[in-house]
A and B are shown apart, each in its own frame.
Chain A
Amino acid sequence: MESNSVAQQEHTEIVDQLGIRSLRPGRYFGSLPQYYVDRDHDKCIRCLVCVRQCSWDATFYDANRNIVYNKYENCVNCKRCVAMCPTQCIRIREWTDGFRDNDNWSDKNIRGIYKQADTGGVLLTGCGNDKEYSTYFDKIVLDASQVTNPSIDPLREPMELRSFIGRKPEKADSSRELSTKDYPNIVAEVPIIFAPMSFGSISYNFQEGLARAATNMGTYFNTGEGGLHPNFYKYGKRAIVQVASGRFGVSATYLKQAAAVEIKIGQGAKPGIGGHLPGEKVTAEISRTRMIPEGSDAISPAPQHDIYSIEDLRLLIYAIKEAVEYSVPVSVKIAAVHNVAAIASGIIRAGADIVVIDGFRGGTGAAPTIIRDNVGIPIEVALAQVDQRLRDEGIRHCGSIIAAGGIRSSADVVKAIALGADAVYIGTAALLAVGCTLCQQCHRGRCAWGITTNRPELLPRLPADFAEERLTNLLRGWSHEIQEMLGLMGLNSIESLRGNRLKLRGVGLTKYELDTLGIEQAGR
């Protein structure tokens, strides 16, 4: 069997070299490409910018014919060539002769089966769940002031977005003593924090950009589970550092220099499973950051093997609190799953200061497609339930809620906060801000936009100052929009929006869905 597949591999390679693209052993269905690169040869000036920019082995130059051509089956529609072409002569289209119409068997299903039949492997992907589940954010609308209370113009009146994230005392000391000194909080000037994305899954430059943009805007970035590069310790006060099941890069210094420590239990894109950074991606810098030998596989186990129960979690939370001398809040990040409200309540009671709920639309650097697309629940309902549960138990002040996974715009931020979040994480939005085109190939480590790769030849494609500038712009734009939305609701401070579900109405939802979200039907 083994020798057979090796032989097939060799056959395929030779056929590939010969440039024959028809059905062949090994990659039987490799001749069924998904995208078609439509190049206007009259406009092509043969500058070969596209050839040099393509990192997917899809674009080539034939000097004899003096023509640029593509291996369509390798194209992932990342649009790097389209964006770089000086004459705009490239367009990428869906492969036109699609399969026969079938509402049940989508192209995605069919191609998935072909690929697996070719390889016998698990299908991997990047980014978030792209299936057609309903997005509740799109079925929620916002309120505005008319006549009876004036809307507020954020250009002329103060409009406050400052948010304290962490555990708070139930009440202030009546004797004017400072009652919050034992309650470390992180203070975000905008309630938008960059989601956990590890160095390794994203590039060095992009992480630096996140750190600098967070510094500029007075918010935070999250290191993800890959540790913090020594060069980035200077951004420590803006870093939420993660302690995940692989414990990569965790040391006392790492924990102490951070603004907050996050224990990662799960991820919205792949609840209940671990991660795997292949050895060839563990370069010298990543090995330094993750504190593992160069070239070794970085495997994050599915559970944290010292947390098999809520009481184990409590031990880890307090172990970390001891390590940081109770100076920073400790957060616990879980994926949104069916019983999330009870789990979140347990997490707060176990001593966590922040609970992060990651919805099933949350992105990933690499996850099995089948898990990404089918496991977990939407963030909107999870958030609504967690917030209500914590209030019912009277422990809402004991911990902050950060909503993650599926925040696409400032309106989503406002809706999430009105549903009960203290702040949100944005991951995919941040990627998009620096040029990501959602080609979902992050797991392959050769991102043509230089975002999710650390290959030295691809790294310069996203310089850190670009990332900084664009991410800062994004946050600035969103915070202006949030201020406008607050103003039109007659509010001038974000805390009056927090949990204010009266500002939300549902359109096209069932009574049961409305009740789950804790909001009213539009028009009532």
Chain B
Amino acid sequence: MINMMNTERKQYVRRDPRYGKDISSCGIVGFINHDGKLTDGSYIRRAIANMHDRGNGLGGGFAAYGIYPEYAELYALHIMYDSKDDVQDVEKYLKEHLKIYHSEDIPIFETPKVPDYPYFRRYFVEPTEKHRKFQADDDYMVSIVMHINVHFEHAYIISSGKNMGVFKGVGFPEDLAEFFRLDEYEGYIWTAHNRFPTNTPGWWGGAHPFALLDWSIVHNGEISSYGTNRRYLEMFGYNCTLQTDTEVVAYLMDLLVRKHNLDFQAASAVLAPPFWKDIDSMSEERKNYYTQLRMIYGGAALNGPFAFLMAYSQGLIGLNDRIKLRPLVVAVNGQTTYMSSEEAAIREISPELEQIWAPRAGWPVIAKLNESPVIMSVE
């Protein structure tokens, strides 16, 4: 069921893409089971529901890893169509450029709490042999995603990773969880987002998480350096089409970690760089290292208040801005690491916790699959 209101709204929201920017303030929560044990979506739903008041019903979403074990080696494309006009064209384009193993509508549960919604389909694909000769799979997939997001008026790829998926929309997150029937999925990493958009009407494509390949980001805050970051990314072929600052985080992580092979500490030091006064008092070797990071990646530094959770197939990373202008707490219980805006959300699903703390500004918390929940930080 397509609601035409959405199309109109989208046209309104979709300003000249060079200038558009949405800001939001939100609640975020996520957890990872270090042993890869799967849990169903009811836990994350309860956790984010506990932070109901951090959103205003104009956006919510979830990312889950490990939900498509039967297609684990294929890229799972979640595509949102806000008009069925484009479905045929997009599918024609996908057939030309990718090998599609399976495609289906994303199952939904119609509820009065989510009155208008676009059309969601998912495709399990991989690049054709012909294209594999010329480009690495991931690079090729990024170019496909960028192409569809830019060139098809009514289609957005909301996630494109392997064995993972993003479910998001307009509404309170607990209602959307019901809508997307998340209780029926099982994953080892879950993140969720409750959105409080402040200057644009809620839009399904503008909800969190934002995902590219394996990366998914939920973000609370506003990236004041968005203009700089977006133009920096454009130099590397990333086009920001979703008009939300969070998008740049996903693309930056993709650039830094996948393309430039930086480790997570280095990538975190790029996104939330240490202050010069701290760098200047470091040992010569570390000083040079951080100086060069800031020199090279000045355009990639994130500025403004933020706390975000970045998930990828192998872990979950939490990062705060340089002066901690947004809340973020981290907790560990058994083999599970939790990260959230509020402790209450964590206590809701795990009343007993071994350890809970608020990480330092600009210091990443990195929780990796198949490792014990160790707290790592920027040296």
Whether B16 lies near A179 (C-beta < 8 A) is no
Taken together as a complex, chains A and B put the C-alpha atoms of A169 and B289 apart, in Å, by: 14
Contact of A180 among B25, B225, B296, B325 (CB under 8 A): B296
Q: Is B295 positioned at the interface, with any CB of A under 8 Å from its CB?
A: yes
Taken together as a complex, chains A and B put the C-alpha atoms of A489 and B304 apart, in Å, by: 9
Q: Is A314 positioned at the interface, with any CB of B under 8 Å from its CB?
A: no
Taken together as a complex, chains A and B put the C-alpha atoms of A148 and B306 apart, in Å, by: 11
Q: Is A394 positioned at the interface, with any CB of B under 8 Å from its CB?
A: yes
Taken together as a complex, chains A and B put the C-alpha atoms of A524 and B291 apart, in Å, by: 37
Whether A148 lies near B227 (C-beta < 8 A) is no
Choose, from A295-303, A344-352, A433-441, A498-506, the stretch at the interface: A498-506
Known contacts A391-B235, A490-B304, A490-B305; A174/B263 CB under 8 A: yes
Whether A496 lies near B303 (C-beta < 8 A) is yes
Contact of A174 among B224, B262, B276, B323 (CB under 8 A): B262
Contact of B224 among A147, A149, A157, A162 (CB under 8 A): A149
Whether B266 lies near A172 (C-beta < 8 A) is yes
Q: Is B201 positioned at the interface, with any CB of A under 8 Å from its CB?
A: no
Q: Chain B, interface size: which category? A: 35 or more
Q: Is B128 positioned at the interface, with any CB of A under 8 Å from its CB?
A: no
Whether A397 lies near B288 (C-beta < 8 A) is no
Whether B221 lies near A149 (C-beta < 8 A) is yes
Q: Is B301 positioned at the interface, with any CB of A under 8 Å from its CB?
A: yes
Whether A502 lies near B325 (C-beta < 8 A) is no
Taken together as a complex, chains A and B put the C-alpha atoms of A499 and B322 apart, in Å, by: 21
Residue from B18, B228, B262 whose CB has the most chain A CB atoms within 10 Å:
B228
Q: Is A491 positioned at the interface, with any CB of B under 8 Å from its CB?
A: yes
| B199: chain A residues within 8 A (beta carbon) | 148
Q: How far is the CB of B238 from chain A (nearest CB, A)?
A: 12
Whether B221 lies near A492 (C-beta < 8 A) is no
Taken together as a complex, chains A and B put the C-alpha atoms of A491 and B302 apart, in Å, by: 9
| A168: chain B residues within 8 A (beta carbon) | 295-296
Known contacts A158-B275, A171-B296, A520-B16; A500/B262 CB under 8 A: no
Whether A520 lies near B19 (C-beta < 8 A) is yes
Whether A152 lies near B262 (C-beta < 8 A) is no
Q: Is B198 positioned at the interface, with any CB of A under 8 Å from its CB?
A: yes
Known contacts A160-B275, A172-B296, A178-B289; A518/B18 CB under 8 A: yes
Taken together as a complex, chains A and B put the C-alpha atoms of A299 and B377 apart, in Å, by: 61
Q: Is A185 positioned at the interface, with any CB of B under 8 Å from its CB?
A: yes
| B228: chain A residues within 8 A (beta carbon) | 495-500
Q: How far is the CB of B272 from chain A (nearest CB, A)?
A: 11
Q: Is A493 positioned at the interface, with any CB of B under 8 Å from its CB?
A: yes
| B301: chain A residues within 8 A (beta carbon) | 493, 495-496
Whether B227 lies near A174 (C-beta < 8 A) is no
Whether A176 lies near B289 (C-beta < 8 A) is yes
Interface class of chain B by DSSP: loop
| B62: chain A residues within 8 A (beta carbon) | none
Q: How far is the CB of B236 from chain A (nearest CB, A)?
A: 7
Q: How far is the CB of A513 from chain B (nearest CB, A)?
A: 15
Q: How far is the CB of A469 from chain B (nearest CB, A)?
A: 26
Q: How far is the CB of B48 from chain A (nearest CB, A)?
A: 21
Taken together as a complex, chains A and B put the C-alpha atoms of A145 and B23 apart, in Å, by: 11
Chain B 187-231 interface mask (CB, 8 Å, partner A; 1/0): 000000000001100000000000000000000011011111001
Whether B21 lies near A502 (C-beta < 8 A) is yes
Q: How far is the CB of B264 from chain A (nearest CB, A)?
A: 12
Q: Is B92 positioned at the interface, with any CB of A under 8 Å from its CB?
A: no
Taken together as a complex, chains A and B put the C-alpha atoms of A405 and B311 apart, in Å, by: 47
Known contacts A174-B262, A524-B15; A499/B224 CB under 8 A: no
Q: Is B293 positioned at the interface, with any CB of A under 8 Å from its CB?
A: yes
Q: Is A396 positioned at the interface, with any CB of B under 8 Å from its CB?
A: yes
| B36: chain A residues within 8 A (beta carbon) | none
Q: How far is the CB of B189 from chain A (nearest CB, A)?
A: 25
Whether B322 lies near A149 (C-beta < 8 A) is no
Question: Of all chain A residues, which has the CB nearest B15?
Answer: A524
Residue from A172, A180, A497, A524 whose CB has the most chain B CB atoms within 10 Å:
A172
Whether A149 lies near B296 (C-beta < 8 A) is no
Q: Is A230 positioned at the interface, with any CB of B under 8 Å from its CB?
A: no
Q: Is A508 positioned at the interface, with any CB of B under 8 Å from its CB?
A: no
Residues of A within 8 A of B (CB-CB), count: 45
Whether A490 lies near B234 (C-beta < 8 A) is no
Chain A 143-164 interface mask (CB, 8 Å, partner B; 1/0): 0010111101000011010101
Taken together as a complex, chains A and B put the C-alpha atoms of A479 and B23 apart, in Å, by: 29
Q: How far is the CB of B237 from chain A (nearest CB, A)?
A: 8
Q: Is B318 positioned at the interface, with any CB of A under 8 Å from its CB?
A: no
Question: Of all chain B residues, which has the CB nearest A514?
Answer: B19
| A503: chain B residues within 8 A (beta carbon) | 227
Taken together as a complex, chains A and B put the C-alpha atoms of A502 and B23 apart, in Å, by: 13
Taken together as a complex, chains A and B put the C-alpha atoms of A503 and B19 apart, in Å, by: 10
| B235: chain A residues within 8 A (beta carbon) | 391, 394, 396-397
Q: Is B27 positioned at the interface, with any CB of A under 8 Å from its CB?
A: no
Q: Is B292 positioned at the interface, with any CB of A under 8 Å from its CB?
A: yes
Q: How far is the CB of A463 from chain B (nearest CB, A)?
A: 34
Question: Of all chain B residues, which has the CB nearest A387?
Answer: B231
Whether B231 lies near A499 (C-beta < 8 A) is yes
| A397: chain B residues within 8 A (beta carbon) | 235, 296
Taken together as a complex, chains A and B put the C-alpha atoms of A152 and B21 apart, in Å, by: 21
Whether B226 lies near A498 (C-beta < 8 A) is no
| B266: chain A residues within 8 A (beta carbon) | 172, 174, 176
**A382-422, CB < 8 A from B:** 391, 394, 396-397, 418
**B1-48, CB < 8 A from A:** 15-16, 18-19, 21, 23-25
Q: How far is the CB of B15 from chain A (nearest CB, A)?
A: 7
Whether A492 lies near B273 (C-beta < 8 A) is no
Whether B225 lies near A500 (C-beta < 8 A) is yes
Taken together as a complex, chains A and B put the C-alpha atoms of A185 and B21 apart, in Å, by: 33
Taken together as a complex, chains A and B put the C-alpha atoms of A491 and B15 apart, in Å, by: 25
Q: Is B260 positioned at the interface, with any CB of A under 8 Å from its CB?
A: yes
Taken together as a complex, chains A and B put the C-alpha atoms of A169 and B296 apart, in Å, by: 6
Whether A499 lies near B289 (C-beta < 8 A) is no
**A26-61, CB < 8 A from B:** none
| A500: chain B residues within 8 A (beta carbon) | 225-228, 231
Chain A 123-167 interface mask (CB, 8 Å, partner B; 1/0): 000000000000000000000010111101000011010101000
Give chain A's interface residues, CB within 8 Å of chain B: 145, 147-150, 152, 157-158, 160, 162, 164, 168-172, 174, 176, 178-180, 185, 391, 394, 396-397, 418, 489-493, 495-503, 518-520, 524
* 6 closest residue pairs by CB, A with B: A502-B227, A495-B298, A496-B225, A496-B303, A500-B227, A174-B261
17 new A-B contacts at CB < 8 Å, known A185-B295, A495-B301: A145-B224, A152-B323, A158-B323, A162-B276, A164-B298, A169-B296, A170-B296, A172-B292, A174-B260, A179-B296, A490-B222, A490-B224, A495-B228, A496-B304, A499-B299, A500-B231, A519-B19
A-B contact pairs, 17 of them (CB 8 A): A148-B24, A152-B323, A158-B323, A164-B294, A171-B259, A171-B260, A172-B266, A172-B293, A176-B289, A179-B292, A394-B235, A490-B224, A498-B299, A499-B299, A500-B225, A501-B231, A502-B227
